[in-house]
């Protein structure tokens, strides 16, 4: 598969899939956050006002954009509302890529990241699609997490762990869910 024509996209995909490890993706660290900030925060800020179609040149650019708008903010702005501010753009790019069938041109691990906007959505319809999407990827590519995320949305209609930074009041049941470890 051809590399994306945009240098930021090629660089981000190389870093994400060839330099970082799964523990970096899911565990997070100050080192990874600093690396993403130094290399990609300026791109995030420069590109986030562009329409989704601008990132739908090819599968690799679309994947890089989803990572830029879905994963990078969660690292760069953890603990703030801005961590979720780019979700609509990531979701729209993902939808465009899926509509074009580009997910079938990606490896399973790349497809996992392409589908994360479904898992991160607070819409129950997206959560249902997330379950189907991640089930098709097979073992080891996020289905168990998709199921857990679905259960939170099905139960609360939102992610309770986001309540504080989004200025929402948590119910007692939501506080118990967070205390039980349902805070991704």
State whether 90 and 125 are in the same domain. no
Residue 102 lies in a domain: yes
Q: Which of the two residues, 183 and 1, has the higher pLDDT score?
A: 183
Q: What confidence score (pLDDT) does residue 142 get?
A: 93
Residue 183 belongs to domain with CATH number: 1.25.40.10
- Residue 144 and residue 67 share a domain: no
Shared domain for 20 and 101, answered yes or no, is: yes
Residue 114 belongs to some domain of the structure? no
> Are 100 and 132 in the same domain?
no
Q: What is the mean pLDDT of the chain?
A: 95
pLDDT at position 6 is 85
Domain span at 178 = 121-184
Report whether pLDDT(182) > 90.
no
pLDDT, tens digit, 9 for 90 and up, residues 138-158: 888 999 999 999 999 999 999
Q: Is there a contact between 61 and 102 (Cβ–Cβ < 8 Å)?
A: no
**Which pLDDT belongs to residue 27?**
83
Assess if residue 176 is contained within a domain.
yes
Q: Are residues 129 and 100 in the same domain?
A: no
State yes or no: pLDDT of 184 exceeds 80.
no
Tens of pLDDT, residue by residue over 55-103, are 999 999 999 999 999 999 999 999 999 999 999 999 999 999 999 999 9
| 49 has pLDDT over 60 | yes
Same domain? For 74 and 158 the reply is: no
Residue 66 lies in a domain: yes
Residues 90, 38 within the same domain:
yes
Tell me: do 91 and 27 sit in the same domain: yes
Percent of the chain with pLDDT over 90: 90
Domain count for the chain, please give it: 2
Clarify whether residues 135 and 167 are in a common domain.
yes
User: Could you tell me if residue 32 is inside a domain?
Assistant: yes
């Amino acid at each position: 598969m051809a590399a994306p024509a945009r240098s930021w996209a090629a660089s981000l995909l190389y870093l994400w899939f060839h330099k970082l490890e799964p523990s970096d993706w899911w565990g997070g660290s100050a080192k990874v956050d600093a690396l993403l900030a130094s290399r990609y925060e300026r791109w995030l800020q420069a590109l986030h006002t562009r329409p989704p179609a601008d990132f739908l040149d090819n599968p690799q650019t679309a994947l890089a954009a989803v990572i830029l708008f879905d994963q990078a903010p969660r690292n760069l702005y953890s603990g703030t509302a801005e961590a979720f501010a780019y979700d609509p753009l990531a979701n729209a790019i993902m939808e465009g890529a899926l509509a074009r069938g580009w997910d079938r041109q990606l490896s399973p691990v790349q497809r996992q990241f392409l589908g994360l906007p479904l898992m991160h959505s607070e819409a129950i319809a997206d959560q249902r699609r997330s379950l189907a999407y991640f089930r098709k990827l097979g073992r080891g590519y996020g289905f168990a997490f998709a199921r857990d995320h679905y259960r939170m949305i099905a139960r609360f209609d939102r992610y309770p762990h986001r309540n504080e930074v989004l200025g929402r009041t948590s119910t007692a049941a939501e506080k118990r869910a967070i205390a039980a470890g349902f805070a991704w």
